[in-house]
Chains A and B, each alone.
Chain A
């Protein structure tokens, strides 16, 4: 089945130690998104790629960066995680931009713990 895969499902990192989360898709979608979701809140978009074009949300901290080496893979890098970065990180894809009405397909998420 076509899907969005996130690895790892659970990640524990130390305060200030860089961490990378990965996402892959078999849907061949143009758009890939990274969301941060804290407990009992809606997902918050960090950034997205439309093909190779990177789009950063205005309020995304510089501590968060992303790479999309090819259509299938996208990575979230947190350069110096703080305690406030502990959250669920969701990757999603859509064939075209979500604002134009295209369904997003979500991965199962990576739960990040910062110690």
Chain B
């Protein structure tokens, strides 16, 4: 069965530090991969997505993610975190058919001054 794992429930980083949020998926073929962000009390917003081609994907707000087929991973990175990045981050996988879509359990990011 397809699944998405975000191993880190909660991460705390200092403002200005680099960030990496982990995401692993379980799926036989190359899926569609997404990272969404949710600020407190708000809906989700797409940060970036991977369909095919270049495995390093650039997104909004200075985020990037790298697809590694050999590791079944799609980790999200940012070189320098801002206080406004504090939010919940969801990795998600689309498995190709209409409703085969799975969210990870989310990683909560706290940014300290």
Interface residues of A (CB under 8 A from B): 4, 40-43, 45, 48, 50, 55, 90, 92, 97-104, 106-109, 111
Chain B residues closer than 8 Å to A55, beta-carbon distance: 99
Whether the pair A42, B100 counts as a contact (CB closer than 8 A) is no
Interface residues of B (CB under 8 A from A): 32, 34, 36, 41-46, 49, 51, 88, 90, 94-101, 103-106, 108
- Identify the closest chain A residue to B43 (Cβ): A106
Expressed in whole angstroms, the Cα–Cα distance for A45 and B105 within the complex equals 14
Whether the pair A98, B105 counts as a contact (CB closer than 8 A) is no
Whether the pair B44, A99 counts as a contact (CB closer than 8 A) is no
Whether the pair B94, A42 counts as a contact (CB closer than 8 A) is no
Given A42-B105, A43-B90, A101-B49, 9 new contacts (CB under 8 A):
A48-B99, A99-B96, A99-B98, A100-B94, A100-B97, A101-B94, A103-B49, A106-B44, A109-B43
B53 to chain A, nearest CB (A): 13
Expressed in whole angstroms, the Cα–Cα distance for A99 and B45 within the complex equals 17
Chain A residues closer than 8 Å to B51, beta-carbon distance: 101
Partner of A90, one of B32, B44, B106: B44
